[in-house]
Amino acid sequence: MNIYNQIFKVIKKYNTIVIARHIGADPDALGAQFGLKNIIHRLFPDKKVYAVGNPASRFKFFGNNDKLDNSIDTKKSLLIVVDTPDLKRIDGASTSDFEYVIKIDHHPIIDKFGNIEYVDDEACSASQLILEFAYENKIELTKEDGELLFLGIIGDTDRFLHDYTSVKTFELVTRLLKDTNVDFTSLYKNLYHRPLAEVKFEGYIYSNITITENGVAYIKLTDKLMKEYGVDSAAAGNMINDLKFVDEITIWIFLSEDVKSNLIRANIRSVGPYINETASKFGGGGHIYASGARLKSWEEADDLIKAYDELMKDYKKLN
Ligand code: AMP
């Protein structure tokens, strides 16, 4: 019995199942969460399945998130956490409230948790893991499952651009497309359509980004600036990958002020040194080439820039 069969066995056992993902939901987290919810719901219509967490208005086409109410006895329920390596970033559920916890993730481990902890940090996405879970358990997918999981994979790989897009990814996606007949080109608009204001804002970023001598590019995006451009604090995060192939840039950081949450969000990417360890020193984390952090102040943001500049200095000496 492989790990996916073991997970399926536990799912069969529980009548109430809560599926959680990380805060700041992105397409992969949502694709994995709603894809799994759909599958369980269809196979076991009598089970109660909740997909929890704060809704992400930008990605509402994935589905509506559920609220946990008092009628749910979590002590007799199963919690499945997808796409989340750390306890503090689980959105809408607490592992200690549940009888049984399963973690399914593709990030390097930060916190070890879960009665079953399944982590494949070489998988391109959590959605790929859910797709594998389905095929390993001979579960037939519907078009809707296919759409959710396809969009999750597309989101995290940026259309098969990033590392960890593998032969396995293409094999699984090919099978998904054949089995479910997903009209995939028509799905892209869900992820990529955006207002002109955001395109202009991206123009601002490109024109004003600072690049250090060591190849760290960064930009500070204040609340005032974002208001002027008519974009929200999450806008920059959706553009961060677009600087992947720029001659002068090895590490790049977007710092966006989020007044509502009283923090500065850092999106960090690299095509050189691993960046997740430095991010974790600032309370963040992520993948080796794609990380993030939530910072308390612009002073801390400056410290983060300095830390990455040091990292780049060392990297340049060795390369
Ligand atoms: P983002 O720049 O938001 O797309 O995030 C890139 C990667 O960093 C994702 O894998 C996230 O899970 C991770 N990440 C982002 N923000 C944080 C954070 N505050 N703490 C830990 N990991 C984060």
pLDDT attached to residue 217: 98
What number does CATH give the domain 3-191? 3.90.1640.10
pLDDT attached to residue 184: 95
Compute the distance from residue 51 Cα to the ligand 1 centre, in Å: 20
pLDDT attached to residue 165: 97
Mutate to test the pocket of ligand 1, among 191, 254, 275, 291 (most ligand atoms within 8 A of CB): 291
Pick the CATH number of 196-318 from 3.10.310.30, 3.40.718.10, 2.60.40.10, 3.40.50.620: 3.10.310.30
Compute the distance from residue 52 Cα to the ligand 1 centre, in Å: 19
Is the CB of 237 within 6 Å of ligand 1?
Answer: yes
Write out the two tokens for 138: 């001979």
Does the predicted TM-score (pTM) go above 0.85? yes
Is the CB of 294 within 6 Å of ligand 1?
Answer: yes
- The amino acid occupying position 250 is T
Q: Which atom of ligand 1 is nearest to the CA of 110?
A: 21
Compute the distance from residue 84 Cα to the ligand 1 centre, in Å: 10
Q: Which atom of ligand 1 is nearest to the CA of 107?
A: 10
pLDDT attached to residue 54: 95
Is the CB of 27 within 6 Å of ligand 1?
Answer: no
- Report the chain's terminal Cα–Cα distance, integer Å: 45
Confirm if 308 and 300 have CB atoms less than 8 A apart. no
pLDDT tens sequence for the chain (319 residues): 999 999 999 999 999 999 999 999 999 999 999 999 999 999 999 999 999 999 888 899 999 999 988 889 999 999 999 999 999 999 999 999 999 999 999 999 999 999 999 999 999 999 999 999 999 999 999 999 999 999 999 999 999 999 899 999 999 999 999 999 999 999 999 999 999 999 999 999 999 999 999 999 999 999 999 999 999 998 999 999 999 999 999 999 999 999 999 999 999 999 999 999 999 999 999 999 999 999 999 999 999 999 999 999 999 999 8
pLDDT attached to residue 7: 98
**Alpha-helix runs per DSSP H in 159-239:** 167-180, 184-192, 196-208, 223-229
- Give the Cβ contact number of residue 52 at 10 Å: 18
φ/ψ (deg, to 5) at 210:
-100, 140
Write out the two tokens for 242: 């677009």
φ/ψ (deg, to 5) at 164:
80, 0
Q: For the chain, which residues make up each domain, given as ranges? A: 3-191, 196-318
pLDDT attached to residue 269: 98
**Atom 17, ligand 1: residue with shortest CA distance:** 292
pLDDT attached to residue 71: 86
Is the CB of 108 within 6 Å of ligand 1?
Answer: no
Q: Distance between CA atoms of 24 and 39, rounded to whole angstroms?
A: 23
Compute the distance from residue 30 Cα to the ligand 1 centre, in Å: 15
pLDDT attached to residue 147: 98
Confirm if 133 and 102 have CB atoms less than 8 A apart. no
**Atom 10, ligand 1: residue with shortest CA distance:** 286
